[in-house]
Amino acid sequence: MAKKEITKKQPLEDLVKELNKELKTESPVQVASSSKGLDIPRLRTGSLTYDICTGGGFPFGRNTVLYGAESSGKTTVALMAVAQFFKTDDKRAILIVDAEYAFDKNYALKLGADENRMIIIQPDHIGQAAPVLKYLLEKNAIGAYIIDSIAALMPLSVIENETDASNIGKHAQAIGNMFKQSNGLTGRNKVAGIWINQIRDKIGGYGGGISLPAGHAPKFYASIMIKVMRGSKVKNDDGSYTNQGWIRVEKNKTFPPYQEGKYDMEHGSGISLSSEVRDYGIESGVIYKKGNSFYYDETFENDIDKSKDHVFIGKSKDAAKEFLEENVDFTEQLSNIILKTYINK
């Protein structure tokens, strides 16, 4: 039977349907305007700084790589994103590949994780982790996963080698293969892949500098790459500490890159959303100040002469932060409004 000829007047959608039928394509060809699958849903991170800088959070169906020095907050924000996932209608589980043997369940629960929906593996080498990730992705059993970390996830051949043996390229090849196995399934099943990597000082050569373990594979497969830096440590009046963090989005295929932001990370409770809402609220105009006092006007006219009719947040930065901490629903509402103002700029 002769195939029908394609005519210039044939509607594009009909043409695509005919193409899929004739070629029996496993991955259907789509017309971009009619495909909801090309939209990018996002996983909010629980941090307004990360959400603003990435364009709304970590994208589902894509890989996000967080890299930086130790104790800079990479694992914390990954766990905060997991807590946000459990607030959604998605009932799938979360996989945590704890190659560093550093997972703190109590800390994760304090950030809002659901221990009954977390699958955890602490592999000795990548050969134990990669098949687990692939299996769960094939079963569409997980909605997000954390690899913590790329640097610690070594192939067995490297671990068993003599310490002075040449292992050049083996780690990069193994991580590259893991990305290859998981990338398509991550995209097809709309899973948020969160990969954490360390930085290393370059040895030899000119000028020093830093390098990232596993070569170019993470850079190639990541839709978003975020550099996470640790700032100064401030001692609070109650004896606790607040670490100041800083991020820069080095690569973003889902939103304009090179966005930067700073935040406060409090010991034991993660990034302070209340501080972020207060500070970004003032910067965006969602919150306004009258003297040292903070107010919210839902009309956004921010007329200080009408401040008595507006929501009084606090008469100082600390008081405003405390008010926002105590009124969680209101803070999340403001967070959503503030995020929209930045994304729609």
pLDDT digits (tens, 9 = 90+) for 224-252: 999 999 888 877 777 677 888 999 999 99
Instruction: Evaluate whether residue 119 is within a structural domain.
Output: yes
Single-letter residue type at 6: I
pLDDT tens-digit map of 52-90: 999 999 999 999 999 998 878 899 999 999 999 999 999
Among 228, 254, 271, identify where a domain stops.
Answer: 271
- Segment among 16-20, 187-191, 207-211, 333-337 with least mean pLDDT: 207-211
Instruction: Evaluate whether residue 26 is within a structural domain.
Output: no
- Segment among 3-17, 115-129, 191-205, 207-221 with least mean pLDDT: 3-17
Are 63 and 126 found together in one domain? yes
Domain boundaries, position 298: 279-343
Among 246, 271, 296, identify where a domain stops.
Answer: 271
**pTM, rounded to two decimals:** 0.87
Q: Which residues contact 4 (CB under 8 A, 6 or more apart)?
A: 18
Are 201 and 294 found together in one domain? no
Report the distance separating Cα 169 and Cα 272, nearest Å.
40
Q: How confident is the model at residue 204 (pLDDT cuts 50, 70, 90)?
A: low
pLDDT, residue 252, reads: 96
Are 187 and 302 found together in one domain? no
Structure token digits, residue 190: 């709309």
Query: Largest Cα–Cα distance in the chain?
Result: 83
Are 267 and 288 found together in one domain? no
Instruction: Evaluate whether residue 79 is within a structural domain.
Output: yes
Are 156 and 204 found together in one domain? yes
DSSP state at residue 209: -
pLDDT tens-digit map of 289-332: 999 999 999 999 999 999 999 999 999 999 999 999 999 999 99
CATH of residue 103's domain is: 3.40.50.300
Among 237, 254, 271, identify where a domain stops.
Answer: 271
Instruction: Evaluate whether residue 15 is within a structural domain.
Output: no
Span 88-110, mean pLDDT? 96
pLDDT tens-digit map of 135-150: 999 999 999 999 999 9
Instruction: Evaluate whether residue 168 is within a structural domain.
Output: yes
Instruction: Evaluate whether residue 24 is within a structural domain.
Output: no
How high does pLDDT run on average in the chain?
90
Instruction: Evaluate whether residue 16 is within a structural domain.
Output: no
State how many domains the chain has: 2
Report the distance separating Cα 331 and Cα 278, nearest Å.
9
CATH of residue 330's domain is: 3.30.250.10
Are 78 and 167 found together in one domain? yes
Q: Are 168 and 217 in contact (CB under 8 A)?
A: no
Instruction: Evaluate whether residue 242 is within a structural domain.
Output: yes
Are 244 and 289 found together in one domain? no
Are 43 and 137 found together in one domain? yes
